[in-house]
Amino acid sequence: MRAGRLRHKASVYVPASTTNEYGEVNASFTLLGEFPCGVKSRVKREFDSSATEISTTQYDLAFRYHSNLSVIKLSSYLVVDGVKMQILSMAVDGLRGRTILMRCEQRS
């Protein structure tokens, strides 16, 4: 992966749980960091049970390998250029595992 293709910055948020003064568990997200990435978008079409067409946008993100990115959970989310994305799948790819690929879907 060439550095010139990593034109976007992705903020990665991972789930974190804390307890309040009453001992209740509060689920929240903390910023893991900002990582340069390459983004490609594509439109995916599905049909639901009533035969209506639903269109969603999926994004393929490519990162340089980073040890923090290789162990994040699928419940994490990303923010790229103000767009919040949920991670659908993740794989280490490329020559000698130098690239991490993520398929994401836009969430509101």
The residue whose two tokens read 């568990």 is 25
Whether residue 1 is predicted with pLDDT greater than 60 in this model: the reply is no
- Cα of 98 vs its chain's centroid, Å: 18
CA angle 105, 70, 58 (to 5 degrees): 15
Which comes out higher in pLDDT, residue 97 or 2? Answer: 97
Structural domain boundaries of the chain? 3-106
The CATH number of 3-106 is 2.40.10.270
Question: What's the confidence (pLDDT) of residue 5?
Answer: 79
- For residue 103, the SS3 value is strand
Q: What is the pTM of this model?
A: 0.80
Structural contact between residues 35 and 70, judged by C-beta atoms closer than 8 angstroms: no
Q: What is the pLDDT of residues 42-75, one digit of tens each?
A: 888 777 777 777 778 899 999 998 888 988 988 9
What is the band of 15 on the pLDDT scale with cuts at 50, 70, 90? very high
Phi-psi map region of 64: left, alpha, beta (phi>0 left; psi -120 to 50 alpha): beta
User: What distance in Å separates the CA atoms of residue 107 and residue 54, rounded to the nearest whole number?
Assistant: 15
